């Protein structure tokens, strides 16, 4: 308990220092451009389906991470591609950064000794999830992570699957996951394909999120403020995640947010979280969404 209190106070100090001195302490990093899946809604591969890049040696990642730490980064989100393809990079990060989140598709088991928060992607029950992510993915996630308290199920909500969110929460409870959070499908910049969610199409989705929150307040991990963030999706001019976090692709180029996401129609969970210590206003969600300390 004392360690948790100390770590939370440390996060408050980091945020205070960022506010006063503009020193960034949070980074989002692609650890690979490669992935073993090709999910239909993924903007990382939009327009470049044949993307395949050479993996960087661990020695290069060590230099990068040490430099990030020297620059003040203490909280890092590791993404991709599929970051579990580089478990060696994850374990290296574990030695350098105190606070780590990972977003993973769950098909590759991340070792138990990596004791950090895992956001594992599932987009509904088996039939609809596997139609998006590939045959066998749902059962593989269940096999790898059932009972794993590191895991928060992270759904990408679309016009076709939002009514399965309640079933997903029931499965999460049965299988011993920590809870369920969600994004709303975010398109790539300039893309208006069939999955694009209009203002009118967003309304029933938001109503369903509010209904689910009222029914499962401790297992559905969006706060009321986070749902409101999704309700008004144009965050081009003001976003803690986009404006104050360091974003780096695998080539070490900076960007404003994940890959090529369209901030005018945002449904990003990280964006909805805003300030990492802001969840103090929402203790039910903070207890489960907080990094493992």
Query: Rounded distance, CA 100 to CA 26, Å?
Result: 10
Band of pLDDT at residue 92, cut at 50, 70 and 90 = very high
Q: What is residue 129's predicted lDDT score, i.e. its pLDDT?
A: 96
Band of pLDDT at residue 113, cut at 50, 70 and 90 = very high
Average pLDDT over residues 242-267: 91
Mean pLDDT of the chain: 91
Q: Which domains does the chain have, with CATH numbers?
A: 2-289 (3.20.20.70)
Is pLDDT at 165 greater than 80 in this prediction?
Answer: yes
Is the distance from CB of 173 to CB of 219 less than 8 angstroms? yes
Is pLDDT at 284 greater than 60 in this prediction?
Answer: yes
pLDDT tens per residue across span 206-254: 999 999 999 999 999 999 999 999 999 999 888 999 999 999 999 999 9
Q: What is residue 12's predicted lDDT score, i.e. its pLDDT?
A: 87
pLDDT tens per residue across span 272-281: 887 776 666 6
Contacts of 174 (CB under 8 A, 6+ apart): none
CA dihedral 274, 277, 280, 283 (to 10 degrees): 80
pTM: 0.94
The share of the chain scoring above pLDDT 70, in percent, equals 94
Q: What is residue 156's predicted lDDT score, i.e. its pLDDT?
A: 96
Is pLDDT at 175 greater than 90 in this prediction?
Answer: yes
> How is the chain classified by DSSP, letter by letter?
-HHHHHHHHHHHHHHHHHHHH----EEEEES-S--S---TT-SSSTT-TT---PPPPHHHHHHHHHHHHHTT--EEEEESS-GGGGHHHHHHHHHH-SEEEEEE-SSSPPPTT--SEEEEE--SSHHHHHHHH-TTHHHHHHHHHTT-TTEEEEEEE-TTTGGGHHHHHHHHHHTT-SEEEEEE--PBTT---TT---HHHHHHHHHHHHHHHHH-TTTB---HHHHHHHHS---SS--HHHHHSEEE-TT--EESSSTTB-GGG---HHHHH-STTGGGG-HHHHHHHSPP-
Average pLDDT over residues 7-17: 88
Q: What is residue 48's predicted lDDT score, i.e. its pLDDT?
A: 59
Band of pLDDT at residue 104, cut at 50, 70 and 90 = very high
Average pLDDT over residues 175-197: 90
The two three-digit tokens of residue 189, written as one number: 């910049």
Query: Rounded distance, CA 14 to CA 11, Å?
Result: 5
Average pLDDT over residues 69-75: 97
């Amino acid at each position: 308990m004392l360690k948790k209190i100390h770590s939370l106070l440390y996060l408050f100090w980091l945020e205070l220092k960022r506010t006063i001195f503009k020193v960034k302490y949070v980074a989002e990093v692609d650890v690979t451009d490669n992935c073993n899946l090709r999910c239909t809604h993924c903007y990382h591969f939009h327009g470049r389906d044949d993307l395949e890049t050479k993996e960087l040696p661990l020695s290069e990642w060590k230099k990068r991470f040490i430099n990030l730490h020297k620059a003040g980064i203490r909280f890092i989100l590791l993404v991709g591609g599929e970051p579990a393809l580089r478990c060696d990079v994850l374990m290296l990060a574990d030695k350098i950064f105190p606070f780590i989140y990972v977003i993973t598709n769950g098909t590759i088991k991340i070792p138990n000794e990596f004791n950090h928060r895992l956001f594992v992607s599932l987009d509904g029950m088996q039939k609809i999830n596997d139609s998006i992510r590939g045959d066998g993915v749902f059962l593989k996630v269940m096999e790898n992570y059932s009972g794993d308290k590191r895991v928060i199920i992270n759904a990408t909500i679309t016009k076709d699957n939002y009514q399965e969110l309640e079933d997903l929460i029931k499965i999460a409870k049965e299988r011993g996951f920590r809870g369920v959070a969600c994004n709303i499908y975010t398109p790539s910049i300039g893309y208006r394909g069939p999955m694009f969610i209009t203002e009118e199409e967003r309304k029933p989705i938001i109503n369903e999120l509010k209904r689910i929150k009222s029914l499962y307040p401790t297992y559905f991990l969006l706060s009321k403020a986070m749902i409101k963030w999704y309700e008004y999706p144009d965050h081009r001019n003001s976003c803690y995640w986009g404006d104050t976090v360091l974003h780096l692709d695998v080539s070490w180029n900076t960007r404003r947010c994940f890959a090529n996401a369209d901030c005018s129609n945002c449904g990003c969970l990280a964006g909805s979280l805003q300030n990492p210590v802001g969840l103090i206003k929402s203790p039910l969600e903070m207890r489960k969404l907080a990094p493992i300390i």
